[in-house]
Structure 1
Amino acid sequence: MNLRTEQANRRHKQAALAALVLLLLAGCGSPSTAQAPPPEASEPASSGDGHGAISGVAEVAEPQLHLVAIDAEGETSMLDLLNGTQSRLGKVRPPADVSTDGRYVFAAGNTGVDIVDSGAWTWDHVDHFHYYRAEAKNIGKVDGEGTATIATGMLSTAGTTGMFFPTSGEAVLLDNAALSRGSISETLRVKTEPHAGLIAPLGEGAVVTESDNAGNAARLRAIDAKGGELASTACPAAAGTITTRVGLVIGCSDGAVLATADGTTPEFERIPYPQGAAAPATEFDGRKGRPTVAGLGTDAGVWLLNTRQRTWEWLPTTTPVVAAATVDDTDHHVVLIGADGTVQVYDALRKERLAATKPLVAASLADPAYADKIQITVDAQRAYVNAPAEGLVYEIDFADGARIARTLELPTKPLHFVETGR
């Protein structure tokens, strides 16, 4: 299937869904609001006012999905996945790591974080979504020492974003409402002992790591908006964080801590690994907001953490895993990149591999300059995998036998890439 036909089919499906739900939608009152499949009854309401709307920004009927790529020199470009339009977004400082909350692109290097607004975002209102599109722009920089660990929340126009700078030990919270207006405003900057730590938004405050005498992240502190401690708990070798509908996840060597906040009161709940567990997960990924996430360790397999049920499950794989993400849909899809360069799709419920591609990123994995930059991102319909040595991004239809739906090129080599508009 060619590029134009694939785009047309995808847009037709999304438009049909949007048209159907417009007939059914009785709440929130916006004629351009599309509704998502009903969530489980136990899902909490999203916080924030205004449904993500920004003055002068258009609300649209479908998610405005884009890919943003950054090359080794910091040149940045964007591809509109709906209509194929390409654009250049200027230059940032060459990053060591790049992440997103679904709208902003955080390019972290040794001297700080550059922030690019992709201009596309989704407001998650639990039982339905609102979609917005604005002009993309480079917002600015947050200075810091060491490559920052970034932690984001559920909403790009409300709450905060966390940045932890390991060399200085500074933990920073940025105001997302200010970012949505194109400015950088620090709501908090806390000094800790230098270590490889993190600060992650929680309620009106955050969770920040505390180091032990050896300089390792070993404890979690829940703090209020002014930095005052509210609660604490042990978390040996704390590493990896993600926010789900249920709460904030932080990985520990003995399991995970699930942090939730009822108003201003934080709670820590431990989810220990099963007896005799394999290597612990040090990073987590999954479809934005969904309760089950993939935890990546070092063995041939993936940890599946269900934050609603507070359980871990081990998904064995046929190869060691480079990257993995849960779709957390009704078919329990997990999509991963194998060490052989293949993209593989698993059924998490049956612990069964459903399909695999031919090796797509073998050349990138074989090159030391690219091997640790291979990433995967998933949305409700597709998975995307970057192949920087090949200069491509692959769009995978995980529900159709891992079919390569499109082979995409951006104006800049995708050494780093993210999907926005989610």
Structure 2
Amino acid sequence: MNTRTRSPQLILSLVLALALLATACAGTSEDDTAEADPTAAIEASEEPAASSSPSPTETPSPDDEATDADEEEAHDADDHAEDGQPDSDDHDDHDHDEDDPSHDHEGEELPEGETVEEVDNPQPRLAIADAEAGIVRILDLASEEILAEVQTTGPARLTETDGGRYLVASMYDDDEVAFIDGGAWGVDHGDHVHYYTANPEPVGQPVELASPAHVVVTDESVAIFADGDGRAALFDEADLQEGDIEEVDSVETGTPHHGVIADFGQTRIATVPHDDIDGGLPNAIGVADGDEVTQLAECPAMHGEHITSDGIVIACEDRIVDIDVTSTGAEARTINYPDTFAAERVWTLTAAHESDLIAAVNETGLLLLDTDGGEPTALELPADAVTMAPGPDDTAVLLTADGSVHLIDLAEGAITATAPAGPAVDLEDEDAIRPTIAVGDDRAYLTDPAAGTVLELATNDNFRVARTITVDGVPGSMLHLGDDPR
């Protein structure tokens, strides 16, 4: 063999082979790839182009298409607020690696519903019940369009289900409960979230219940207590996707009263009516076994409850009762009010679902409580409290009678921002329709019933008024929909 002649040819062949292999593996341009492999350009042209649709919370313009990527990334979130658009998080906060089995969603079905679509980002909406008419309006926050007006028998109080998709509209004076698909929700997959929309619409037919009041949502069920006959009706949220509004169970206490029940599966916590209750407030809380409720703890004039990470907290006239629930039973402990709260109890407990950090108010004070331990903290308020709503990241937004709003950091136990927002509220006028609050990511929404408007306030910018939204009718009970479920 003539090695001097063949070695350069062999080396040249190896170099060409390696060059072709590197070109096929590397991320080259289409022109370079076509030069190395004529079929590559054909295959690339058959692949669909990546979507360049704007976020649903942005308004596209002809200039947007000419804006380069660097300028788009430099946009500040406040630009959306100035335009009256709420912020939204990018859905692609993780890599959809086709080779990574943890992101393999092949065969994954969409949630039930003819109009369900998966979208890239949260689609924030407001559900607003009219305070004087039987209408629940679903408002798209990006366009300010009323997507649906769901008819109800009368004015309703709204409660969100655990999955965030459905609303419970309870009508105390009309002895009825309706379920509504709000049409905007997210499903947490651990390292990422899938977002969905659907046409907002009623689910099934309304359910007759005698004066339905407290609605308690847990992982197990939606439990609605009917004050008129002391009966609690339980519904499975999963059934709502099928349009099925059948009760899955019930608890009959046998005595009309303003009560509550919370379903934890093997253990159910319920109020215990006393002999002379006459439709009023119960004085004890217990464990329900079928229709029999065995007293667990005293709770004079019980009113106000919140589901925590391991049970339920109940507000009483002279104390707070914290109940830890297990599959085999429950254990209660008493938390005493601070001295500054001794003269005036709390009636409502406010916190994010299953959070252990809770806020409550009496007429002039704010109570902050961590059920994991420690003594409750009492803070003075500049004016009487009107209403409060939970926000993300262990926060809450409080409205006081002077028209000011306050951002509360429950973890720090402090009010971190205060600003004037709406008109003063006359708490002596019991017939007046009071403002309500709903909170989303970096935004709080405050109704003005007299003006028929909703203020959008930037909670990340000292409650700057981002915009004023005009709604039909008289805005009453309100919920923010389409939140990131994480």
2:20 paired with 1:20: no
Q: Superposition pairs for residues 13-412 of structure 1, below 5 Å? A: 14-15=89-90, 18-22=91-95, 29=103, 53-54=111-112, 57-71=116-130, 72-95=132-155, 97-101=157-161, 102-109=164-171, 110=173, 111-123=175-187, 129-139=193-203, 140-153=205-218, 159-192=220-253, 193-215=255-277, 216-223=281-288, 226-227=290-291, 232-262=296-326, 264-278=327-341, 279-297=344-362, 299-309=363-373, 311-327=375-391, 329=393, 333-347=395-409, 349=412, 351-352=414-415, 354-358=417-421, 360-362=422-424, 368-371=430-433, 373-412=434-473
Q: Is the 8 A contact 1:202 1:259 kept in 2?
A: no
Superposed CA offset, 1:309-360 (max 9, x none): 364221221111101234363xx644211111222234553634522124x1
Whole-Å Cα distance in 1 between the matches of residues 185 and 241 of structure 2?
Answer: 10
Contact persistence 1:255–1:270 (CA under 8 A): no
SS in 2 for 1:294: strand
Map of 1:39 onto structure 2: none
Show CA shifts across 1:379-400 (max 9, x none).
Answer: 3322121111110111211221
Give the match's secondary structure for 2:403: coil
1:413 maps onto 2:477 in alignment: no
1:179-208 deviations in whole A, cap 9, x for unaligned?
232221212222221111111222345321
Give the SS at the match of 2:199.
coil
Q: How far apart are 1:415 and its partner, in Å? A: 2.4
Structure 1 residues 190 and 293, CA, compared in 2 at 3 Å: closer, same or farther?
same
Q: Which has the larger radius of gyration?
A: 2
Structure 1 residue 293: deviation in Å? 2.2
- State the alpha-carbon separation in 1 of the partners of residues 213 and 109 from structure 2: 30
- Greater displacement, 119-128 / 398-407: 119-128
Unaligned runs of 5+ in 1: 33-49
**CA offsets, 1:252-298, max 9 Å, x none?**
22333333433x2232332412452402221122334433122132x
> What is aligned with 1:40?
none
The structure carrying a bigger strand percent of its residues is 1
Whether contact under 8 Å (2:262, 2:268) holds in the other structure is yes
| Consecutive unaligned residues in structure 2, runs of 5 or more | 1-77
Deviation at 1:227, TM superposition (A): 4.6
C-alpha displacement at 1:369, in angstroms?
Answer: 4.1
- 3-state SS of 1:419 partner: strand
Whole-Å separation in 1 of the counterparts to 2:187 and 2:324: 20
Q: Which amino acid aligns with 1:222?
A: V
Deviation of 1:83 (Å): 4.1
Q: Say which structure, 1 or 2, has more relative contact order (CA 8 Å, 6+ apart).
A: 1
Partner residue in 1 for 2:53: none
**Aligned position for 2:67:** none
Q: SS at 2:103's partner residue?
A: coil
Q: How far apart, CA to CA, are the structure 1 residues paired with 2:299 and 2:105?
A: 47
Which structure has greater helix proportion? 2
Kindly indicate whether the alpha-carbon contact (under 8 Å) linking 1:334 and 1:345 is maintained by their aligned counterparts in 2: yes
How far 1:367 moved relative to its partner?
6.4
Contact 1:167 1:194 in 2 (8 A): yes
The percentage of counterpart residues that share the same residue type is 26
Moved more, 348-357 or 389-398: 348-357
